[in-house]
Amino acid sequence: MKISSGFFFDYVCGEKYAYAIVMFKISLTKTIVFIIGIIVPIQLSAQIDSLQNVIKTSDNLKEIGKTYNKLADKFLDLDMQTSRQYADSALMIGQRSFNYEIISDAYVNLANYHFFQGELDSALIFFEMSYQSILKSRNKNEIAAALNRLGLIYESKSDYSTAAEYYYKALKIYEDAGYTKGKAEIYNNLGVISDALGHPQKALENYVKSLTLFEEAKIIEGQANVYNNIATLYANENKTDTAIMYVTNSIRILMQGNRLTEAATAYFNAAVFYNLENNNDSAEICLDSALMIFTQTNNIHGIANVYSEKAKKLIELKDYNNAITLLIKSLEFRKEVGNLSAESQTLLQLSEFYSLSGDYENALNYYKSHIVLEDSVFNENTKNIISELSIKYETEKKDKEITILRKEAEIKKNHNRLLILIVTALAIILILLFYFFRIKSRLLISQRKYYEQQDRLNQLEMEQQVSERQLLEQEVQIQQQINEIQKSKFEAELDHSKRELITTTMQVLNKNKTLTEIQDYLETLSPKSIEEKKVYRELSKMVKQNINLDTDWEQLKIHFDKVNTGFFEKLQNDYPELSQGDLKVLAYIKIKLSSKEIAQMMNISPAGINKRLYRIRRKMNLPTHANIGEYLEKI
């Protein structure tokens, strides 16, 4: 049964709080021994045997390459060198078969190998190579996952601005694709960055979004990682009870899911929280559990954290030498990892430890190293503690001088008093300088936050301008589509009008031809009686009337005007002497009718048409043999 954060909070913070904590303390060691010693090896062994059997029996090169990648992932928590060998084999098969999916997964496994070895620069190179391979596949979700992995590397290198840039790119892709798990992972990572930059409220908002999405997708391991991060957030706000509640739930889920590396981190966090409550026994159990898993998986960063936390407890017991020894060992591991922020904090701890032990010279040297490294990470110019240590160091020297002078005592009392006043004045000046630099440091921090806000506002304005430009481009595209539709509609209407014009013309031609043939036939007949002559005359009259019907011309003119807009107006304006009959002839020529066809249309002989064309040329000032049709094509 899935336990939501709300349910678990009610359970722990209610009447059963004490019982839950006790049970958690008792079961910590048992859980580690049972899962790591019995269940995990058995389950992993069965899975590994099955995968190795696939390699032995399969003839499919693609299947073998994918299996090598799965084995590399399985051995990541068991044997790093074996994991590296399987990843190299998968890469070789992927390159041989030009399979970008296998190549990309192999690069990811090689990057993870270097990451857990503490070689962040090498891990970054392989993650970048994986990203370039994934781009060729054009798989949006895989591209987003690659961006997320690059962000995690830059986060580990304390380059939070670059990490956030990659996270937001991945989040945009996941949101467009509606991929719940991907969005949940990104919000969790953004929460970590917000917490690291000192924005706890923003971090909690991101964690809540991530947890909601993981619960929606029913991804238990994802919820566990968010619980762990929320626990750290509450611990930083001195809410250790709530922090322990969340980290306990995280450990339970991660161990059940065989997520050893994440579980070790959760155990370490639990130890930190128990130390805050001075619960030494529970803290020691958690640290030993974390160290066991970190050592097994060769997680250098985790081992360094455990040594650092153990050193803190020794300092509380005033065992300075052993505490400093452990912390120096932790620093060596930090340098291997390349996490500048963590290395800087360890240098600061060493400075504090030496200061507590009374060795102010070493304390000052380590603090100077911390400041140099801190400047390279956060670009701040705070040197406050150097001033404080300088005061202590100078005061120690002056105290020794005073002690020596006091031994010479009585004959130099006045001189000693003056020297004491000088030393006191110097101390006051140094204290004033210390507070001056402290105030200046706060002003610089406030100024930096202001510039960050301004940068964010500028970014939002740029995004708004991009959105407005995209909207304008869409409107232009829509208008172009409307113009294309209107053009197509106009062309269709014009084509239809042309067909109507041709059809009407042919109908009139056929009608006139038929009527002319009837008239010619009637003229060949010789009526005998008066009645027959009367009938023939009536028939001949009706035929002539139908040939000369104005309705035929009006119908044809309607379709002609649609195809040749402004034709008649142009001719009448340019040549006002043209009659309506002349315009008819010119219209028939425009639609490419022959002289014979025009004669039939107008019930005139072809010779009559030629005479009319002669007169038209004169009215239009055209040469006698000019081709009127070619001239009309230009109108």
Residue 189, in any domain of the structure: yes
Do 82 and 124 lie in a common domain?
yes
Residues contacting 348, CB < 8 A, separation 6+: 366, 367, 370
For the chain, how far is it from start to end, CA to CA, in angstroms?
Answer: 86
Residue 146, in any domain of the structure: yes
The pLDDT of residue 185 is 92
Do 635 and 568 lie in a common domain?
yes
The pLDDT of residue 195 is 87
Helices assigned H by DSSP within 564-633: 567-574, 580-590, 595-602, 606-619, 628-633
CA distances from 61 to 136, 428, 458 (A): 20, 77, 51
- List the CATH number of the domain containing 606: 1.10.10.10
Mean local confidence (pLDDT), 552-568: 80
Distance between CA atoms of 74 and 601, rounded to whole angstroms?
A: 94
Do 155 and 204 lie in a common domain?
yes
- The string of pLDDT tens digits covering residues 472-494 is 888 888 888 887 877 777 666 66
Mean local confidence (pLDDT), 343-351: 79
- Of 249, 276, 298, the residue that ends a domain is 298
Distance between CA atoms of 209 and 185, rounded to whole angstroms?
A: 10
Residue 403, in any domain of the structure: no
Distance between CA atoms of 493 and 15, rounded to whole angstroms?
A: 84
pLDDT at 401 over 60: no
Residue 279, in any domain of the structure: yes
Do 65 and 107 lie in a common domain?
yes
Number of independent structural domains in the chain: 4
Do 134 and 148 lie in a common domain?
no
Quickly state the pLDDT bin for 254 (edges 50, 70, 90).
confident
- Of 138, 165, 196, the residue that ends a domain is 138
pLDDT at 532 over 80: no
Quickly state the pLDDT bin for 133 (edges 50, 70, 90).
confident
Residue 171, in any domain of the structure: yes
- Of 138, 163, 182, the residue that ends a domain is 138
Nearest to 340 by CA among 186, 200, 160, 191: 160
Write out the E strands in 98-170: none
Best-predicted range by mean pLDDT (59-63, 175-179, 415-419): 175-179
φ/ψ (deg, to 5) at 229: -70, -40
Quickly state the pLDDT bin for 591 (edges 50, 70, 90).
confident
Do 79 and 94 lie in a common domain?
yes
* More confident position, 240 or 578: 578
Do 164 and 203 lie in a common domain?
yes
Note the residue count of the chain: 635
What percent of the chain lies above the pLDDT cut of 70? 80
Which amino acid is located at 239 in the chain? K
The token pair at 181 is: 């798990």
Quickly state the pLDDT bin for 404 (edges 50, 70, 90).
low
The pLDDT of residue 384 is 38
Do 570 and 635 lie in a common domain?
yes
Q: Could you tell me the pTM of the whole model?
A: 0.44
Distance between CA atoms of 470 and 472, rounded to whole angstroms?
A: 5
Residue 498, in any domain of the structure: no
Residue 244, in any domain of the structure: yes
CB 544 within 8 A of CB 603: yes
- List the CATH number of the domain containing 172: 1.25.40.10
* More confident position, 377 or 393: 377
Of 148-157, 267-276, 539-548, the range with the lowest mean pLDDT is: 539-548
Mean local confidence (pLDDT), 280-286: 82
* H/E stretch holding 166: helix 160-177
Quickly state the pLDDT bin for 9 (edges 50, 70, 90).
very low
pLDDT at 468 over 90: no
Query: Where do we find the tokens 């909070």?
Result: 9
Do 88 and 22 lie in a common domain?
no
The pLDDT of residue 213 is 92
Range of the domain at 40: 1-53+226-298
Distance between CA atoms of 261 and 185, rounded to whole angstroms?
A: 17
Do 173 and 189 lie in a common domain?
yes
Do 202 and 147 lie in a common domain?
yes
Do 64 and 1 lie in a common domain?
no
Residue 255, in any domain of the structure: yes
Residues contacting 426, CB < 8 A, separation 6+: 394
Best-predicted range by mean pLDDT (2-11, 96-105, 370-379): 96-105
